[in-house]
Amino acid sequence: MKKKLVISTGAGMSAESGIATFRDSGGLWDKYPVMEVASADGFARNPKLVHEFYNQRRRELVNAKPNAGHIGLVDLEQWYDTYIITQNVDNLHERAGSKNVLHLHGELMKVRAIDDETKVYELKPDALATTPDTVIDGHRVRPHIVFFQEAVPNIEPAIELAQEADVFVVIGTSLNVYPAASLLHFVRKGVPVYYIDPNPAAVPQGVTVLKMKASEGVAKLAELLKPKS
């Protein structure tokens, strides 16, 4: 039976694909007031602005491609039962071929009904734009994104995966965004933990830190995790 490899990814995972990060200097938060475009209050105040913000991000995403880091994680599936927990709202893990991806903060290429959050619709690449007046199956819709001030519905299954991990990896995150950053603390004692980031945050003793960008770090990770023949 394959060991369970659980990988938690953040914005640095997709940065090499040209996806703008939020928190880095020159990132999206420098260009947009965060609470206006990514909070429940902001959406209530100005839904048109929020729709336009995510329309722009979708246009950027369809022109982006998975990078070597995304593809390298798929390759690990030959040796491990691999699960990815991502803070990213892009679909680059799926497009690279990863089979088990759990999105903590929603999915950019999807919208959901405002009056029934269980009704989720996938947008087509040739019909990406939405407005406050967009209606699908009789429902007005909003971005399928977890806004600030909203609960993170997938945090419980993410915690369960972290608890079940035989190997746990963190890639491309500042470890400042909660509750995602807390997953590290649910990993069982003695389980190997790796952290890949060019500017790593402070981590508990025993974590193997690879001070690299995602693509380089994943290649190194594969060397470390490849089963000994």
Q: Is 105 a catalytic residue?
A: yes
In this structure, how many other beta carbons lie within 10 angstroms of the beta carbon of residue 220? 15
* Alpha-carbon distance values, 227 to 11, 19, 216, 221 (Å): 29, 33, 19, 12
HSE-CB of 16 using CA atoms within 13 angstroms: 19
Task: Single out the catalytic residue among 70, 93, 103, 105.
Answer: 105
* Alpha-carbon distance values, 76 to 80, 115, 164, 193 (Å): 6, 40, 18, 16
Strands annotated E in 115-181: 116-122, 135-136, 139-145, 167-171
Q: Which residues are catalytic?
A: 105
